[in-house]
Amino acid sequence: MAKRNIYKGLNSIKFSRYFRDDNDCLEYLSAIKWYDGYKCKRCDNNKYGSGKKSYNRRCTKCRYDESPTAGTMFEKLKFPILIAFHIIFKIGTKKKGMSSLELSHEFELRQKTCWAFKNKVQQVMKSSLKHPLTGVIHVDEFVIGGHEKGKKGRSKGLKKLIVLALEILENGVGRAYAEVIEHSSAEELGAFLRKYVSQEAEIITDKWRGYAPLKKEFVNLKQIPSEEGSNFKELHIHIMNIKGWLRGIHHHCSKEHMQNYLDEYHFRYNRRSNMTTIFDVLVRKMVDINVNT
């Protein structure tokens, strides 16, 4: 099988030396896009020659000229692909990512342009759903939004309601996933658990009645008193970290886009022990949105 050079690292200076111009980026994309070999999109021919531009491939049969960006999330960019690579690197490798406003200032682009491209990056940060949480899992819901008079407990009003699952390990915490939900009902909580948690996992949550009907399906689910969060310390630390990140970096997230920010946060969080390959993972996913790694 063919081999390709994979960029690994977190240092911005080294990144800039590795990707010096657009051609370096196109070469990297080309190696990803045609890793399994070339096949013309129009006639399925597998032989090609040089195209009009660097790293394009021209079909020897129908003469279709295809660029490394065609059919990917890099197609029809409104700014140089070198800047796109830098944005991906910043969003993926910085501990807290970067807001569209910060990206706008750093790369001298319109904030709207940065937001639109960041949204593409967030789309490929969604979980592949191939690796459900296992072992001991703590689950709870929380709300994001300002205080609303007369709204307590699970009555969210205009706030955004979110359910979170966190792996509890012997020496700390593992992976986590969160999802925006409309109601803390058994139907929605069950749908979340089916997506992200193994049915064999030991699920521990509080006494909320929405979880009780799920014990038939998740046989290892048990409910214990929250004791104002003292029985779920790791979970509540994680919740406070999410809220602090949103307040500090993004200030305000609409309900429509909240899931994207939760996916971004947990994409980095779940790879915190292997950050050096994040850039390559994101670029591969943006070249082929069907790549689930």
For residue 203, give both structure tokens.
């699920």
For residue 239, give both structure tokens.
């919740």
Strand partners, 167: 137
What mean pLDDT comes out for the span 77-83?
97
Chain position carrying tokens 């969160």 = 178
Q: Is the pLDDT of residue 166 over 60?
A: yes
pLDDT score recorded for residue 157: 52
Read off the pLDDT of residues 182-208 as tens digits, 9 standing for 90 and up.
Answer: 999 999 999 999 999 999 999 999 999
pLDDT score recorded for residue 79: 97
pLDDT score recorded for residue 293: 45
What mean pLDDT comes out for the span 278-285?
98
Of all residues in the chain, what percent carry a pLDDT higher than 90?
Answer: 87
How many residues are present in the chain?
Answer: 293
Amino acid at 293: T
For the chain, domain boundaries: 12-123+275-287, 136-252
pLDDT score recorded for residue 251: 67
Whether 157 contacts 147, CB under 8 Å:
no
Read off the pLDDT of residues 143-157 as tens digits, 9 standing for 90 and up.
Answer: 997 554 444 444 455
pLDDT score recorded for residue 289: 60
Give the span between the Cα atoms of 72 and 81, in whole angstroms: 12
Read off the pLDDT of residues 42-54 as tens digits, 9 standing for 90 and up.
Answer: 999 999 999 999 9
Give the span between the Cα atoms of 249 and 272, in whole angstroms: 19
Strands 136-144 and 202-205 turn out to be parallel
Read off the pLDDT of residues 213-266 as tens digits, 9 standing for 90 and up.
Answer: 999 999 999 999 999 889 999 999 999 999 999 988 876 677 889 999 999 999
For the chain, first and last CA: distance in Å? 19
Of all residues in the chain, what percent carry a pLDDT higher than 70?
Answer: 92
What mean pLDDT comes out for the span 275-281?
97
What mean pLDDT comes out for the span 76-93?
97
Q: Is the pLDDT of residue 292 over 80?
A: no
pLDDT score recorded for residue 2: 61
Fold of domain 136-252: Nucleotidyltransferase; domain 5 (3.30.420)
Q: Is the pLDDT of residue 139 over 50?
A: yes
Strand partners, 65: 58
Split at pLDDT 50, 70, 90, the class of 35 is: very high
Give the span between the Cα atoms of 197 and 218, in whole angstroms: 10
Give the span between the Cα atoms of 40 and 51, in whole angstroms: 13
Whether 27 contacts 35, CB under 8 Å:
no
pLDDT score recorded for residue 248: 83
Whether 51 contacts 57, CB under 8 Å:
yes
Q: Is the pLDDT of residue 111 over 80?
A: yes
Give the span between the Cα atoms of 253 and 255, in whole angstroms: 7
| Collapsed DSSP state (helix, strand, coil) of residue 69 | coil
pLDDT score recorded for residue 145: 79
Give the span between the Cα atoms of 77 and 61, in whole angstroms: 29
